[in-house]
Structures are given as C-alpha cells and as structure tokens.
Amino acid sequence: MPREEALAYWFAPAHEVFVADTGGEILGTYYLRENQSAGADMANCGYMTAPAATGLGVARAVCADSIARAKEREFRAMRFNFVVATNEHAVLLWQSFGFDTVERLPNAFQHPKLGAVDALVMHRAL
C-alpha cells in the first residue's frame, strides 16, 4: 500500500488514533472505531508496533489502553476482523486479553513468504 493511501486509511475520519511514545519516539499506534460489520456497540482496533519496539511490551500496553478506552466509550464488545493466523505472537497476546476466535477465514491472506494463510476473527465482551 502506498504511504499516502496508508496514512489516509489510518487517519480516516471514523478512526480515533492514539500513539505510544517515549521521549518523542513513536513506538506504536492504534486506532479505535466502531466495527463496520457489527454496529455501534462493538469496537474495532488496528495496531502497529515499530520494529525497534518489538519485545518491549508496546503491543500489550496499547491493547490494554484500547480496551479501557472502548469501555469508556460504552462499547459492549471488541472484535478484530482480520488477524493473520500465522502471527502467533498477536494471536497469543489477544487470547491473553480474553479474545476468542469466533471465525476462521481459510486462505484469506496472501503472506509474502508462506503463501495463502488463514485469518481469524477474534472477539471479546467488554
């Protein structure tokens, strides 16, 4: 995805965007929005962690923050619509926060090294 397209998506009007930083260096970011397929009472998030921040607990911190903010906004649940099944670290992290896999999408993602791999829809009540 070209940079301009990625920025336009990330900062879409429906996305509330947050960053995790230290000393002005951005370590990660996420957006919080209504889940487009489930209605106004269900939240959805997208997350990114800087490669240099891998293993520092950034993903855990932004997930915890996103759950707290979703509760503040009175969402009843949170759903991740597309978690690449081979991203074991993300799957285990989301499971540690109480997310369950509610659907498996066979061969839904074209991985650059592994070819077609499954994606997961993950959900938890708030």
CATH number at residue 81: 3.40.630.30
Would you write out the chain's pLDDT as a tens digit for each of its 126 residues? 899 999 999 999 999 999 999 888 999 999 999 997 656 799 999 999 999 998 999 999 999 999 999 999 999 999 999 999 999 999 999 999 999 999 999 999 999 999 999 999 999 999
Closest CA to 122 of 114, 92, 108: 92
Cα–Cα distance, 106 to 126 (Å, whole number) = 27
Cα–Cα distance, 90 to 10 (Å, whole number) = 19
Count: domains in the chain:
1
Q: Which domain holds residue 27?
A: 3-125
Q: Going by DSSP bridges, is the β-strand pair 77-84/39-49 parallel, antiparallel, or unpaired?
A: parallel
